[in-house]
Amino acid sequence: MMTITIILLMACITFSSRYLMLHPKLPIVIKGKMVTFLSFSAPAVLTAIWAPIIFLEKESSLTSLSNPYFIAGILAIGVAYRTKSVYATLLISGVTFYLLTQFITP
């Protein structure tokens, strides 16, 4: 019963963190400079998620040049820049990543 109570409280926190800022009655008006500032949120947050996966090895040291995550990640940046296609980027870098993990690194 205790665990279920904790789970319910945790659910309240995750839901309110997601919903709170969407609530219309909250006295926050986003305009002007705030709109510009927030327009960088998607590239900023998403990069803060992908960069450590690509540039770190096991979260404890900078990547080595032979790390498949790093090589295929850099390739993905190039392909995304050229093609602007999610699926082309996923396919090309995914296959590269798979081959690297299978054949090159032990």
User: Could you please report the per-residue DSSP string of 42-100?
Assistant: HHHHHHHHHHHHHHEETTTEEPPTT-HHHHHHHHHHHHHHHH--HHHHHHHHHHHHHHI
Decide: is 71 part of the binding site for other proteins (CB under 8 A): no
- Using CB under 8 A, pick the residue from 32, 59, 64, 106 that binds other proteins: 59
- Using CB under 8 A, pick the residue from 27, 33, 65, 106 that binds other proteins: 33
- Using CB under 8 A, pick the residue from 27, 32, 41, 103 that binds other proteins: 41
Give the nearest distance from C-beta 91 to other proteins in angstroms.
10
